[in-house]
């Protein structure tokens, strides 16, 4: 028997019928109910007290703590299609942001530092793809993945150029502001972190922090590229309306392409390149719907 389970039996005074491991947690089944044992992680906020204070109750309250573990009641999940889960998650995101929003005096030094950090991220990404292009152009024979990438490399540069323009538009607006809007962000929103039961519950608050609201939508967008985000954004923006400068920063970060991570399989590499290009195309389409001034003359054939 694992030591922590022995301690659970002694402290909770319930018989453990069986236990199982999944997703870095331990599930314990007792005659009456089931529990989840999860490793404690340090957090600067007493997150559950903070959520309760703000009136956000779509989380699973822990039963108790034991050594380095937190103990939660196990909640059976109802089957819900991914599209419906995504809609519920976006709705909960807007509620979380509304209930925890606050304004703080804008620190121009911090804003300038953020601007320079993102600017450097764009430059670093441009340099990365410059190097990739140089390597490919000097190869004698091109595998399909390299051919697909070099044929559409200007499409990637177009995304980076657009990101740079939106970054400048954001900076021009934000540097004249006196206050900046922040809220509690979950910071790791994935479909697997939402349980649909008697009501929807958000899990995994270990990465949450107080920051700009756009980061939650950005992270969800990057982690769930197979979803249709136009309608999801419309729901979010109708419940928690983003300011113009917030949209510009969101567009900036959405448009910066990820750096490719190739592996040994050429089939996998071709899929990786194709997925990147499709993601950029979807992002162009998304941005164009919310910015009437947005245009791209970039043509591409995947």
* pLDDT confidence bin for 173, thresholds 50/70/90: very high
pTM exceeds cut of 0.95 = no
DSSP string, 168-229: HHHHHHHTT-SEEEEEEE-S---GGGEEESSSEEE---TT-EEE-THHHHHHHHHH-TTS-H
The confidence score (pLDDT) of residue 7 equals 64
Top mean-pLDDT range of 60-74, 192-206, 265-279: 265-279
Distance separating alpha carbons of residues 35 and 38, to the nearest angstrom:
10
Long-range contacts of 233-237 (CB under 8 A, 24+ apart): 233/286, 233/290, 235/87, 235/90, 235/91, 235/94, 236/90, 236/93, 236/94
The confidence score (pLDDT) of residue 10 equals 60
pLDDT, mean of residues 255-268: 91
pLDDT at residue 234 tops 80: yes
The confidence score (pLDDT) of residue 300 equals 47
% of the chain at pLDDT higher than 90: 61
Which domains can be identified in the chain, with CATH numbers? Answer: 3-74 (3.30.200.20), 85-290 (3.90.1200.10)
Poorest-pLDDT segment among 95-99, 169-173, 174-178: 174-178
């Amino acid at each position: 028997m694992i030591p922590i389970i022995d301690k659970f039996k002694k402290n909770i005074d319930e018989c453990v019928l069986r236990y199982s491991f999944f997703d870095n947690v331990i599930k314990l089944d007792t005659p009456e109910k089931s529990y989840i044992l999860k490793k404690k992680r340090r957090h600067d906020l007493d997150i559950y007290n903070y959520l309760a204070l703000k009136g956000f109750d779509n989380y699973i309250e822990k039963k108790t703590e034991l050594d380095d573990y937190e103990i939660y009641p196990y909640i059976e999940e109802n089957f819900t299609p991914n599209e419906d889960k995504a809609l519920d998650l976006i709705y909960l995101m807007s509620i979380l942001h509304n209930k925890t929003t606050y304004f703080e005096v804008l620190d121009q030094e911090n804003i300038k530092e953020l601007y320079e950090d993102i600017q450097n991220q764009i430059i670093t990404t441009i340099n990365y793809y410059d190097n990739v292009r140089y390597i490919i152009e000097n190869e004698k024979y091109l595998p399909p993945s390299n051919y697909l990438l070099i044929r559409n490399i200007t499409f990637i540069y177009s995304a980076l150029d657009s990101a740079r323009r939106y970054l400048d538009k954001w900076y021009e607006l934000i540097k004249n502001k006196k206050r900046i809007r922040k809220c509690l962000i979950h910071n790791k929103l994935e479909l697997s972190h939402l349980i649909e039961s008697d009501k929807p519950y958000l899990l995994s608050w270990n990465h949450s922090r107080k920051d700009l609201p756009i980061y939650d939508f950005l992270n969800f967008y990057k982690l769930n590229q197979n979803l249709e985000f136009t309608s999801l954004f419309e729901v979010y923006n109708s419940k928690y309306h983003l300011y113009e400068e917030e949209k510009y920063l969101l567009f900036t970060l959405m448009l910066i392409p990820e750096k490719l991570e190739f592996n040994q399989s050429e089939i996998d590499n071709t899929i990786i390149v194709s997925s990147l290009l499709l993601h950029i195309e979807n992002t162009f389409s998304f941005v164009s719907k919310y910015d009437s001034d947005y245009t791209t003359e970039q043509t591409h054939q995947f």
